[in-house]
Structure 1
Amino acid sequence: MNKDIILLRTVEVAAIASYKYIGKKNKNILDGAAVEAMEKVLNSAEGFSIKVVNGEGELDNAPMLYSGQILGDKSTKVPMFDVCVDPVEGTNPAASNFAGSIATIAISRLNTMLKLPEMYMEKLFVSNQLKDCADLQHGIIACVQKMQKKAKKKDIKAIILDKPRHNEIIKKLDKMGVIVRLIKDGDVLAAIDVVNGEADFVYGIGGAPEGGLMASLAISSGCKMMAKLVGYDQVWPHEKETKQRVEYENQALQKINLSFEKYLDDNDLIKDPRTRFFAAGITAGGTLKAIDYLNGKYYVSAFMSSHGVIRNIKSVYDIDQINALKPEIKYLFDKYKRK
């Protein structure tokens, strides 16, 4: 079967498995369902295998979809690829049933993805029309001024993570005439909105592993991303775990030969112009819609980008037919059916 179809099915089935637990206030069990579904579909793939580069949190010693895990066709004659995975990007929104969660995966040629530590990253994702302005080295405000000049208007549209660490930047952008949309979680989902023309850029300090997914999306869609790693002590200077996290981060940076001062663009994170990106809505939001279920059928809103081609996809999963024709994933639908 075509590799792209398998990867598209992977994110869609992960969204379906998580549906049972949307709004149940238990983000761990919701995430666990999506992880199991994603691993099952990937492990049943034929004709290729994958190596997880950025996966489930290494700080939590995740048992599935962990960094370095090999999945797929076990034959030595098939090609192997790198992947970044996030079975539920936005576990809090999904557990509380508000907008902001997706299942997502990105793939590239073997040994082309940078393994990112589980830490914070300042990320800027800019639309195709303004990608020449994506330069964080002089700060986000100077970068936005470049975008306004290029767009020949002040009221460009931004999506910003609504966190206390961004309060001053949000105030400055508002005074500059920028139309700011705030989100609690889900900067990968927000980047999809940029690709689909709903905003001009996404900015915020969020999770570093998601940076690989956003880099794949930028490369495959013709947009642009810039990023820089940020120390835990810069975000949470007074927490009990700060000292331990700083030690972990310093060790992690030494392993990948990076520093907090180095600026990275999408091509530093993924060295493959043929990278592909896939996502499916869980509670979603914006241009990607939430998963729904009615009369034995799941309605899934999915997204794919590759080689500058962008696809917004509506899929309908008829459970009875799938259970009859795809017995290898039948137990997932039985196990995670919402009653």
Structure 2
Amino acid sequence: MSDAIEPIPSFVVSDRNLALELVRVTEAAALASAHWTGRGKKNDADGAAVEAMRTAFDTVAIDGTVVIGEGEMDEAPMLYIGEKVGSGGPAMDIAVDPLEGTNLCAKDMPNAITVVALAEKGNFLHAPDVYMDKIVVGPGLPEGVVDLDSSIENNLRNLAKAKGKAVRDLVLCTLDRERHEELIAKAWEAGARVRLLTDGDVAGAIAACLDTSQVDIYAGSGGAPEGVLAAAAIRCVNGQMQSRLLFEDDSQRERAQKMNPGKNPDRKLGLHDLAAGSVLFSATGVTSGTLLKGIHQYPNHAVTHSLVMRSKSGTVRFIEGYHNFKTKTWTPQ
């Protein structure tokens, strides 16, 4: 019997290292888009983030396929659904939002972030660009304490009981949209406080899982691709999330069916339906908000603030990066 140690196959890459590589990707996108903060040009900000993120991915040791991206190939020149990224390595699915909150960046408003999530191939829901109904609470609560199909009043009462709080002490976070008027009114009527977001429901959903945010629950409808990104982060901290795709017509439903063959497109989705297996998540702040501090720019350097999470270990890291433009191989345009 030999005591020789089997060599590690060359394709095995430590996900610890990958997590830190992802930070460089979101940092690059944030630094590029920060040039456009407050300039009123959301498309230019988004384009700069996309290009920087795509370039940064070329250095990451994966064989990645974008499954949540900027759109179909004919809609997006880069980071389109199906695009290959990475320098070679294990097969991974990639979910990206190069600049979540393009309006927030353009108007220098809180909560603009750059986001990337990574999972082993086949473990992200292939979500079409439709709306998704969502409800999110944080870790350490009884399973099923809230339910997507229950009223917001019942969910608030059950959550308050589980947290040992009064409903009046709960904070519900949702997008400030006309479609949420009834949700907001009923939450107020139940006695809860409501934090309204103009944009950026990835950050809002994650906030419900972090004690530092003082948000207890996220609810309402937003983009389905953003729902998958949020689910990746929520997996890393053992929060709870339920969702359901919302369709405006049969063509949207048929597209969802084609993207996920054999699955009922109208089914209620649990957290593992959205993001399964080992998941990595990274986000970098562009403008300061509930989740992250924005970029601080100086004549020759910039400071970034990022959140990195890994589902396998449950590790949550906040990373402050100092970027010296005299020594970096690239600088913001």
Q: Same fold (TM over 0.5)?
A: yes
Of 79, 86, 110, 1:72 maps to 86
Give the Å deviation of 1:216.
0.5
Q: Do residues 277 (structure 1) and 291 (structure 2) align?
A: no
Counterpart CA distance in 1 for 2:209 and 2:304 is 19
Of 249, 252, 275, 2:252 maps to 249
The within-5 A match list for 1:184-199 is 184-197=198-211, 198=213, 199=215
Indicate the larger mover: 259-268 or 118-127.
Answer: 259-268
Aligned to 2:171: 157
Q: Do residues 261 (structure 1) and 266 (structure 2) align?
A: yes
Aligned to 1:85: 96
Aligned to 2:29: 14
Could you state the TM-score of these two structures normalised by the residue count of structure 1? 0.86
Give the Å deviation of 1:125.
1.6
The within-5 A match list for 1:1-339 is 2-45=17-60, 47-58=61-72, 61-74=75-88, 78-130=89-141, 132=143, 133-152=145-164, 153-154=166-167, 155-197=169-211, 198=213, 199-232=215-248, 246-255=249-258, 256-257=260-261, 258-259=263-264, 261-272=266-277, 274-306=278-310, 307-323=313-329, 330=330, 333=331, 336-337=332-333
State whether residues 58 and 118 of structure 1, in contact with CA within 8 Å, keep that contact through their aligned partners in structure 2.
no
Give the Å deviation of 1:194.
2.5
Indicate the larger mover: 159-168 or 1-10.
Answer: 1-10
Aligned to 1:241: none
- Give 3-state SS (helix, strand or coil) of 1:94's partner: helix
**Aligned pair in 2 of structure 1 residues 131, 37: CA closer, same or farther (>3 Å)?**
farther
User: Structure 1: which 5+ residue stretches go unaligned?
Assistant: 233-245, 324-329
State whether residues 230 and 260 of structure 1, in contact with CA within 8 Å, keep that contact through their aligned partners in structure 2.
no
**Aligned pair in 2 of structure 1 residues 70, 60: CA closer, same or farther (>3 Å)?**
closer
The CA RMSD measured in Å over matched residues stands at: 1.8
Aligned to 2:3: none
Counterpart CA distance in 1 for 2:37 and 2:62 is 32
Name the amino acid aligned to 1:194.
Answer: A
Counterpart CA distance in 1 for 2:182 and 2:74 is 33
Name the amino acid aligned to 1:277.
Answer: F
Give the Å deviation of 1:59.
8.7
Give the Å deviation of 1:8.
0.5
Counterpart CA distance in 1 for 2:180 and 2:148 is 15
The count of aligned residue pairs is 309
More helix by proportion, 1 or 2? Answer: 1
Task: State the identity as a percent.
Answer: 33
- Give 3-state SS (helix, strand or coil) of 2:126's partner: coil
State whether residues 100 and 184 of structure 1, in contact with CA within 8 Å, keep that contact through their aligned partners in structure 2.
no
Aligned to 2:10: none
- Give 3-state SS (helix, strand or coil) of 1:123's partner: strand
**Aligned pair in 2 of structure 1 residues 297, 212: CA closer, same or farther (>3 Å)?**
same
- Give 3-state SS (helix, strand or coil) of 1:286's partner: coil
1:252-309 per-position Cα deviation (integer Å, ceiling 9, x unaligned)? 122124556311011001121x201110001141131111101311111110111311
State whether residues 142 and 162 of structure 2, in contact with CA within 8 Å, keep that contact through their aligned partners in structure 1.
no
Give the Å deviation of 1:72.
1.0
Name the amino acid aligned to 1:24.
Answer: R
Name the amino acid aligned to 2:136.
Answer: F
Counterpart CA distance in 1 for 2:160 and 2:171 is 10
